[in-house]
Amino acid sequence: MVQPFLVSRAETRRVIVASSAGTVFEWYDFYLYAVLAPFFAKLFFPPENETAALIAAFATYAAGFVVRPLGAVVLGRLGDLVGRKYTFLISIVFMGFATFTVGLLPTFDQLGWISPLLLVTLRLIQGLALGGEYGGAATYVAEYTEGTRRGYATGWIQTTATLGLLLALAVIGACRMLLPAGEFEVWGWRIPFLASFVLLVISLYIRVSLRETPVFLTMKAEGRASRIPVWESFFRWPNNKYVLLALLGATAGQGVVWYTGQFYTLFFLTITQHLDYSLAYMLVGAALLAGMPFFVFFGWLSDRVGRLKIILAGCLLAAATYIPLFHVLSLSVNPELAAFQANNPIWVRVDERTCNFHVFVGPWSKFSPCDHVTDYLTKLGMSFTKVNAPGFDTADVTIGAQTAEVGSSGKAGIERTLRNALFGAGYPGLNFKYVDGEPMADGQGAPILEFRTANPAHINYPVAFLALFVLMLYATMVYGPMAAFLVELFPPQVRYTSLSFPYHIGNGIFGGMLPLLATAIVAATGNIYAGLWYPIGVAGATFVIGALFLRRRRQETV
């Protein structure tokens, strides 16, 4: 039975503000590690191979996403049985506990392999908690809102992930700038995690004051609540069909577009293009701020033209323009590196059977000369082409017109040979190391070289900002209408469970695995843009499936 809507606009606004505030804090907790993942590669993983350690850090980052669908099922079921309010109270307690505890963890140097195991465990707890958060917040706000304003109202919930990321960037950036040099790496990184306890207390206070939604209370009073929401969601037709279509035709593409625009860009700027972290935070943060109102705008627009049209348009635009946009980023933030790469193609002669594809790094990991060469070139932001030489037990690297024989002298020797060859070829990211105005030399009298970040004077800030803003705009197109779209796809009896599962697979698996898979693809192929084919493929497939098989289905009992 469809109930008349009896909630005032003033109460709806209070619900939106209160729900959004708590969700911002929870996203802040979750994204602290995401921002610091490259930094955590040095803290919690062995130093033998920096690219492999980075991939391991991204694997830990992805672990929190991979477990989110399980949290969606467990907490979604609880939300459909017990209520929306109490379930996302539980989620925020688990999130706050796990985040605070990360700030207390010993590093790899202090505890060995137990340290990353503890880190992964806490990331799994965070993922479980977040699995119950989004569905609760989206359902809670939607069930307080009239149908003609649902996209606009839930659009405010869609801003919370970006606000949480902005808050994480601001807190981390402030700590890194205010602490003395080197102190952040020793202990200062713990401050943003420990500070989350204050946000936990505030979030709990806000959420305890909220009431249960009128839709859930009416459904319970009329005896229409589901007793087996998991079964009805995933094993009863046609609801299970819509769960699958919501994933493949909407949330998978949304997940990769969102995480490309808001995270992969940050890693691309700082790792591949060697932009100083403060400038990268500033550029990405400015694009996030400029793009944030469009979450609400596209939510509002979806009330008028339809949710799915906007989501699929965002997927199509992203898939068509990612590679040229990232080329624009390269040329605008580090033109010297782009010019060096264009004038000095790099060829790696190696027996490709000795090259390993590292995704999960552990005590079992072995690194060949090929692995050390590709690791070094990848972390320098250089594309390269492999030339297969069967039976060749080492590696030769040709940079422009010169060839360096790296031999099999171990990681340090290989890197020293490559560093000198790159410097001789004019690689712009290397300088002599000076002390008191004099160049330093090693024990053999050779000059010591050190890396430098991209030259700030050569950055084209307007063009870089514009490229980042366009990438952010795609994220708002696919994400702004998503909450209203998912809420309207499922009946209230199983809504929490049904919408949470495809959302968290799309964002947790397809989106959350993006930095890990993209970085591994780049290292394996030698092309700094090759990782983009993953989000391009997923977004393109989502557009096709959504356009062919998804139709408007609106649940008015909301």
Can you give the pLDDT at residue 433?
58
pLDDT value for 335: 94
Going by C-alpha positions, the residue among 356, 381, 365, 355 that lies closest to residue 116 is: 365
- The pair of structure tokens assigned to 353 is 């059977």
Contact 329, 496 (CB under 8 A): no
**How high is the pLDDT of residue 557?**
45
- Dihedral class, residue 506 (left if φ above 0, else alpha if ψ from -120 to 50, else beta): alpha
Distance set, CA 207 to CA 12, 74, 156, 210 (Å):
15, 20, 17, 5
pLDDT for the residue numbered 465: 97
Position 364 scores a pLDDT of 61
> pTM of the entire structure?
0.83
Q: How far is CA 333 from CA 186, 265, 368, 516, 517, in A?
A: 29, 12, 33, 23, 24
Q: What is the pLDDT of residue 90?
A: 84
CA 367 vs CA 356, 358, 375: distances in Å: 8, 9, 10
For residues 545 and 248, the answer to whether their CB atoms sit within 8 Å is yes
Rounded Cα distance, 255 and 478, in Å? 9
Q: Is 357 helix (H, G, I), strand (E, B) or coil?
A: coil
Q: What is the per-residue pLDDT for 450? A: 67
Would you state the pLDDT for residue 7? 60
What is the structure's pLDDT at 555? Answer: 47
pLDDT of 440 reads 55
Give the model's pLDDT for residue 437. Answer: 53
User: What are the DSSP calls for 453-499, one per residue?
Assistant: ---GGG--HHHHHHHHHHHHHHHHHHHTTHHHHHHHHS-TTSHHHHH
Query: Contact, 382 vs 346, CB < 8 A?
Result: yes
Q: Residue 362's pLDDT is what?
A: 59
Q: Please give the C-alpha separations between residue 546 and each of 95, 120, 193, 311, 445, in angstroms, as whole numbers.
A: 33, 34, 39, 9, 64
Neighbours of 319 (CB within 10 A): 24
| DSSP state for residue 429 in the 8-state scheme | T
Q: Measured between alpha carbons, how far is 74 from 1 in angstroms, rounded to an integer?
A: 28
Burial of residue 555, with CB atoms counted within 10 A of its CB: 0-12 exposed, 13-18 middle, 19 or more buried: middle
pLDDT in tens, the chain (558 residues): 444 445 666 777 777 777 777 778 777 877 788 778 777 888 888 766 676 677 777 777 677 777 878 887 888 787 778 777 778 788 888 888 888 999 999 988 888 888 888 988 898 888 888 777 777 777 778 877 776 788 888 888 888 888 888 898 889 889 988 988 688 888 899 999 999 888 888 878 877 777 777 777 788 788 787 778 888 888 888 889 999 999 999 999 999 999 899 889 988 998 899 899 889 989 999 999 999 999 999 999 999 999 999 999 999 999 999 999 999 999 999 999 999 999 999 999 988 888 876 665 556 667 788 888 888 888 788 899 999 999 887 888 999 888 888 866 677 788 888 888 888 888 887 665 555 555 455 555 555 656 778 889 999 999 999 999 999 999 999 999 998 999 889 888 888 888 888 888 888 789 878 887 888 888 888 999 999 999 999 999 999 999 999 875 554 444
Q: What is the pLDDT of residue 208?
A: 79
438 - beta bridge partners? 435
Instruction: Say what the pLDDT of residue 556 is.
Output: 45
Residues 6+ apart with CB under 8 A from 278: 173, 176, 177
Residue 459 dihedral angles phi and psi, to the nearest 5°:
-80, 135
**What domains does the chain contain, in order, with CATH numbers?**
9-333+457-549 (1.20.1250.20), 338-453 (no CATH)
pLDDT of residue 448: 64
Helix, strand, coil proportions of the chain in percent (round to 5)?
Answer: 70, 5, 25
